C-alpha cells in the first residue's frame, strides 16, 4: 500500500475526549471514528488489525473443532419470549418494530437463535458434540459506553455455542474452548488469566472470564502471581483427549484467580504476601456452561443411545475482537505510539523514502516495495513528500514492527537501514540483504 493513496487520517493533536492511551492512539492513528455515542467506524488501518485478530480467533476456533456460520444481527422477539429473556434483559436490549409492527431486537447475544437453529435440524446424539460459532456485530445499550471500542454499544463478538448429550460431554466442550482461548490470546501477544466469574444474564454456574492485566481495566481482579509462568498449550494439543484437556484446565485453575464479584477474601489472604496480585484487568473473553437453561424452555432435545429424548447441555463462549484491539494497545505501546505484535500488525513493514523525488531513493524504495509484496508481505510504502522527521514519527505512531529506511546517503552506498519498532535497534544492510532478511 502506498501511503499517498491510502486512507489514514492521522490527527496531529491528542483528542481531548480520550481518557486512556488505547483510545487516544486509535483516534490519533485514524484507526476508528466515532459515529454516534458508542458506535464506531473502523477505518482502513484499524480494519486491517481487526481482520488479523479475527483470523487468529477463527483459526483457533476451527482447530478446537468449532464450525463457523453466520447469524443475523436483527432477531425476532418471539425467540426471546420463549426463553423468558425478552423481559429480563432490560434496557441494554435495543428493541425495534418493523413495518408490520412486529417486535424485533438488535441481538446482544445469540443463545436463543442458535438453539432454534439446532432444534430445527439436529435430532440424534450421533450429531453431537456440536459447536457452532460466528463473528458478528452485537448491540448492547450500555449505560456508560466509554474508552472507545473497549466498551462500545455496537461491538463485534465471536460467540460460539456448544451442544452435548451429557453434562460430562459438555464439560469437555467447555475445556476445548478454554484451551483454544489460552492459545488465541497468546498468539495475540497477550497473557490472559482465566478467572472464576459471575454469569449475569447468560446464566449457569460454571464460568470463566479471561482477563488481561492493565491499570486502565474496568474489572478488579485478585490472583496468584504464578500465572505468568504457566505454559500455553501447544499447537498439536489433542482436543479429543478428555483427560488431556482436563489436565490443562486443572493446571490453569489450580491457583487462585477471581474477579471482584466472585472474590473470596479469606482464600486470597491465605496466599503468601509476595505471591498475591491485586490488580485491574480487561475482560477479553468469557465462557459459560449453563446446562439446559435454554434447551429446556425451547425444547432442544436429541434422541440418546437409549432411544429416549434428552435435553441437550449447552455452553456459550464469547470473545470481543473490537475490545481486543485496544486491549493489545494497552499492553503494548510507548511514548511514541503503538507497538503491534507481529501477528496483528496492520503491515509487516513500512518502507520509508526519506527523499521522495530523488531518483536513487525512489528506485530503491520501489524495488524494496515490490520484492516484499511479491514475497507475500503486507507493506506500507511511505512515498509522500513529507519531511523525514514526520515520516519517522508516523511510522513509530502506527507501530509497524519493522521500518526500512532509505535515505540518500545509504542508498548511494547500496544500503538501507532497518529499525525494529519495539527495541529501537537499528542495522544497516545492503538492499539485497535487507530483502532477504525481511522475506526469510
Binding site for ligand 5CA (CB under 6 A): 109, 111, 140, 142, 151-152, 155, 157, 159, 202, 283-286, 288, 316-320, 322-323
Distances (CA, A) of 64 to 60, 236, 282, 354: 6, 11, 24, 47
117-146 in b/e form (b: 16+ CB < 10 A) is: bbbeebeebeebbbbbbbbbebbbbeeebb
Shortest Å, Cβ 339 to ligand 5CA:
22
Shortest Cβ distance from residue 148 to ligand 5CA (Å)?
10
Smallest gap, in angstroms, from Cβ of residue 372 to ligand 5CA?
Answer: 34
3-class secondary structure, 145 = coil
Q: Quote the CA–CA distance of 133 and 128 in Å, as a whole number.
A: 15
Q: State the minimum distance, in angstroms, from the CB of residue 281 to ligand 5CA.
A: 12
Between 188 and 395, CB nearer to ligand 5CA: 188
Nearer to ligand 5CA, 283 or 383 (CB): 283
With both helix axes pointing from N to C terminus, report the angle between 321-331 and 21-28 in degrees, rounded to the nearest 10.
100
CB atoms within 10 A of CB 397: 17
Q: Name the region of 5 (left: φ>0; alpha: ψ -120 to 50; beta: rest).
A: alpha
What the block records as the C-alpha cell of 345 is: 500488525
By beta-carbon proximity to ligand 5CA, the closer residue of 317 and 347 is 317
Residue owning grid cell 484437556? 245
Q: Which is nearer to ligand 5CA, 52 or 286 (CB)?
A: 286
* Least separation in angstroms between CB 213 and ligand 5CA: 15
Minimum gap (Å) between residue 141 Cβ and ligand 5CA: 10
First to last CA, the chain: 21
Task: Give 116 or 159: the residue with its C-beta nearer to ligand 5CA.
Answer: 159
List, in sequence order, the alpha helices (H) in 232-301: 242-252, 265-269, 295-298
DSSP 146: B
Nearest approach in angstroms of CB 108 to ligand 5CA is 7
Q: Residue 135 or residue 395: which is nearer to ligand 5CA going by CB?
A: 135
Choose between 125 and 174: whose C-beta lies nearer to ligand 5CA: 174
399-418 exposure pattern, b = at least 16 Cβ within 10 A, e = fewer = bbbbbbbbbeebbeeebbbb
Using CA atoms, how far apart are residues 280 and 278, in angstroms rounded to an integer?
Answer: 7
Which CB atom, from 20 or from 406, has the smaller least distance to ligand 5CA?
A: 20
- Smallest gap from Cβ 142 to ligand 5CA, in A, equals 5
Count CB atoms within 10 A of the CB of residue 147: 23
Amino acid at each position: 500500500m502506498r501511503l499517498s493513496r491510502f486512507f489514514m487520517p492521522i490527527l496531529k493533536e491528542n483528542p481531548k475526549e480520550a481518557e486512556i492511551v488505547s483510545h487516544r492512539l486509535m483516534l490519533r492513528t485514524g484507526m476508528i471514528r466515532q459515529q454516534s455515542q458508542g458506535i464506531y467506524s473502523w477505518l482502513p488501518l484499524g480494519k486491517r488489525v481487526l481482520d488479523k485478530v479475527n483470523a487468529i480467533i477463527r483459526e483457533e476456533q476451527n482447530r478446537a473443532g468449532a464450525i463457523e456460520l453466520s447469524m443475523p444481527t436483527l432477531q425476532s422477539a418471539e425467540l426471546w419470549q420463549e426463553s423468558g429473556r425478552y423481559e429480563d434483559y432490560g434496557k441494554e436490549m435495543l428493541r425495534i418494530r418493523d413495518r408490520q409492527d412486529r417486535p424485533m431486537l438488535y441481538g446482544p447475544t445469540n443463545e436463543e437463535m442458535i438453539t432454534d437453529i439446532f432444534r430445527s435440524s439436529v435430532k440424534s446424539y450421533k450429531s453431537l458434540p456440536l459447536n457452532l460459532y460466528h463473528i458478528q456485530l452485537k448491540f448492547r445499550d450500555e449505560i456508560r459506553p466509554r474508552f472507545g471500542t473497549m466498551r462500545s454499544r455496537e461491538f463485534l463478538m465471536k460467540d460460539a455455542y456448544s451442544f452435548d448429550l451429557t453434562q460430562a460431554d459438555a464439560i469437555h466442550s467447555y475445556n476445548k474452548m478454554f484451551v483454544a482461548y489460552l492459545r488465541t490470546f497468546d498468539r495475540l501477544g497477550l497473557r490472559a488469566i482465566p478467572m472464576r466469574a459471575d454469569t449475569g444474564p447468560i446464566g449457569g454456574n460454571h464460568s470463566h472470564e479471561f482477563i488481561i492485566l492493565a491499570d486502565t481495566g474496568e474489572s478488579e481482579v485478585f490472583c496468584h502471581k504464578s500465572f505468568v509462568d504457566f505454559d500455553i498449550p501447544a499447537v498439536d494439543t489433542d482436543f479429543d483427549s478428555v483427560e488431556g484437556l482436563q489436565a490443562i484446565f486443572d493446571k490453569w485453575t489450580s491457583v487462585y484467580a477471581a474477579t471482584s464479584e466472585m472474590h473470596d477474601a479469606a482464600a486470597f489472604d491465605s496466599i503468601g504476601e509476595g505471591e498475591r496480585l491485586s490488580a485491574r484487568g480487561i475482560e477479553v473473553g468469557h465462557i459459560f456452561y449453563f446446562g439446559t437453561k435454554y434447551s429446556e424452555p425451547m425444547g432442544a432435545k436429541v434422541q440418546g443411545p437409549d432411544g429416549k429424548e434428552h435435553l441437550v447441555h449447552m455452553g456459550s463462549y464469547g470473545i470481543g475482537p473490537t475490545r481486543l484491539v485496544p486491549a493489545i494497545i494497552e499492553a503494548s505501546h510507548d511514548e511514541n505510539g503503538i507497538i503491534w505484535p507481529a501477528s496483528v500488525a496492520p503491515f509487516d513493514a513500512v518502507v520509508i523514502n526519506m527523499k521522495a523525488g530523488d531518483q536513487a531513493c525512489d528506485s530503491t524504495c520501489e524495488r524494496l516495495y515490490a520484492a516484499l509484496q511479491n514475497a507475500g508481505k503486507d507493506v506500507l510504502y511511505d512515498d509522500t513528500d513529507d519531511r523525514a522527521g514526520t515520516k519517522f514519527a508516523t511510522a513509530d505512531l502506527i507501530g509497524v514492527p519493522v521500518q526500512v529506511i532509505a535515505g540518500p546517503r545509504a542508498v548511494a552506498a547500496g544500503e538501507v537501514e532497518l529499525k525494529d519498532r519495539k527495541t529501537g535497534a537499528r542495522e544497516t544492510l545492503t538492499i539485497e540483504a535487507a530483502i532477504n532478511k525481511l522475506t526469510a
